[in-house]
Structure formats: structure tokens, C-alpha cells
């Protein structure tokens, strides 16, 4: 059966400079195996399937698959899926505020001058990282324990551990190996720079270490940590993907109630149908 399909680049307005997500706009009737097969075939970090919502206040429901597993939440697939879903709606019917239903519950989205934005979901795990794990992560990153300024659990679904280094150049210089859990690394750029922080995200895939080009979920949880500890002030912009020859830009802001919003540009790169 032919189904509408989009491939959307996220956290960039320039095609092929961000992080792509595959979006199947009608996942109705597909079983888990069919979704997993297609996600393996696209071989992107995430593939999403849009479904009718089960929550009365949601506009749509989404399931998010990596080539190997299903995720309860992920940032760039949230923005990319919303971009693709909005493009299918008549212009007069496109809401100013969108509610996405996914594994972590309901995620609000809205339009901003920096692109679509999602409200950062609550952290599932927070707090300092145990000393033995910090030492193990340091070894995986190829740095000394003294190079770690701070480390924190910032898990909002994928299992992120955050590591703060002294500066952005130290983040760019990393050449990790043997990473066996999701690790996000952040370091500040000097005041007056084009972006406030440089971010990199490393994940295990089989026996290999892979790097995600631009990571919404990680930047969402990093912002909650950095803003909450006074290491950052809102609004700020983070850059990610530099080592991979991408130019991701993630815009972080807060509401008066402290809600963190994660925004970025989105652009459709491929459009057509997929046989599913």
C-alpha cells in the first residue's frame, strides 16, 4: 500500500545541514514489525509514523523508531513530524499550538521566529552521576577525569548522561570510542560568539560508537540542567554537528513558569510515497 512519506531536515533551514527524519504520514494498520522493517530500511537515526490520537486533546499520535528500537520521545523527530503533519493541513486549519501524543505523553508545540518549538518533557532521571561511571565515561571520551567540569543524569527518554567540559574547543576535539550508553557533551563558547554552547551526542550501535548530528532531546535536557544550575541564561542558541560537517542550530528559551522550549528550523528534502 502506498503511503505519503516525507524526509525532513531538522534544526536547519538549509537542506542537508541538519538532522534528517523519515516521516510516514499515515501509519494506520501497520503492525510493529512493519514499522521496524521500514525504520531499518531508511537507516536514519529515527523514522516516525503518524497515527490518529487516542488522547482527546492531541492533534496526532506518533511512534518513533530507530533502526533497532522504539523511543518514547525524541526531539528532532518531534519537530520533523510536526513540520510534515502541518504541511498536510489546509493553511486556514493549521493551529498555532499543536499537541503531539507520544510515548512520554502529550508534548506541546508552537510556532516561533526560530521555527517550530516543543516544550521539553520532564526528566525521567536527574542528579549527579556516580563517580565510577564518570571515570568510565572519561575513558570512553578519551579525556582525563580532571577535564570533566560536571556530569549529570539528564534522561528524558533516551537515557542521556551529560558531561560538561571547560570550553567548546574541548568538545570539538573529542574522538571517543567504546561508548556504551547515550552520552551528551557540552562546552561553552566565549562570550560574544555566534552560539553559546557546542554540543555533541554519542551513542552505542552494536560494537560501534556513532555520533548524532543534531539532537533535540539532549539539548532539551541540557537546557533544563544548565539553566537550572545558572550555567546558562535564556534565551540561548547551541550549535551541534560541526565535526560532521553539519550546521545545526538549536534555540532554547523559557516561559515565565520555567518551561523550556526547544526550537529549530525545518525543511522538507524528500517528498513522495512509500510502499508499506
Active site residues: 46
Q: Helix 216-228 and helix 75-87: axis angle, to 10°?
A: 120
Q: β-strands 150-155, 161-164: how paired?
A: antiparallel
206: region left, alpha or beta (phi > 0 left; psi from -120 to 50 alpha): left
Q: How many CB atoms lie within 10 A of CB 15?
A: 14
Amino acid at each position: 500500500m502506498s503511503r505519503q512519506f516525507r524526509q525532513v531536515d531538522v534544526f536547519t533551514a538549509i537542506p542537508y545541514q541538519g538532522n534528517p527524519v523519515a516521516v510516514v504520514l499515515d501509519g494506520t494498520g501497520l503492525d510493529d514489525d512493519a514499522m521496524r522493517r521500514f525504520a531499518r530500511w531508511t537507516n536514519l537515526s529515527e523514522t516516525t509514523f503518524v497515527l490518529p490520537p487516542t488522547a482527546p486533546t492531541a492533534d496526532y499520535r506518533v511512534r518513533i523508531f530507530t533502526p533497532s528500537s522504539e523511543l518514547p520521545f525524541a526531539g528532532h523527530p518531534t519537530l520533523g513530524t510536526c513540520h510534515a503533519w502541518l504541511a498536510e493541513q489546509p493553511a486556514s486549519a493549521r493551529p498555532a499550538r499543536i499537541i503531539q501524543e507520544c510515548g512520554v505523553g502529550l508534548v506541546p508545540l508552537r510556532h516561533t521566529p526560530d521555527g517550530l518549538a516543543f516544550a521539553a518533557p520532564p526528566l525521567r532521571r536527574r542528579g549527579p552521576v556516580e563517580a565510577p561511571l564518570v571515570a568510565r565515561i572519561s575513558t570512553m571520551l578519551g579525556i582525563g577525569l580532571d577535564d570533566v567540569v560536571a556530569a549529570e543524569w539528564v534522561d528524558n527518554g533516551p537515557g542521556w548522561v551529560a558531561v560538561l567540559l571547560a570550553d567548546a574547543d574541548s568538545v570539538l576535539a573529542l574522538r571517543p570510542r567504546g561508548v556504551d550508553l547515550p552520552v551528551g557533551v557540552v562546552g561553552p563558547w566565549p562570550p560574544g560568539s555566534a552560539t553559546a554552547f557546542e554540543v555533541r551526542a554519542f551513542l552505542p550501535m552494536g560494537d560501534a560508537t556513532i555520533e548524532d548530528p543534531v539532537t533535540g532531546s539532549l539539548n532539551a535536557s541540557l537546557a533544563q540542567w544548565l539553566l537550572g544550575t545558572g550555567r546558562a541564561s535564556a534565551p540561548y542558541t547551541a550549535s551541534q554537528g560541526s565535526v560532521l560537517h553539519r550546521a545545526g542550530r538549536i534555540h532554547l528559551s523559557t516561559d515565565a513558569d520555567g518551561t523550556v522550549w526547544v526550537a529549530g528550523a525545518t525543511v522538507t528534502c524528500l517528498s513522495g510515497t512509500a510502499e508499506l
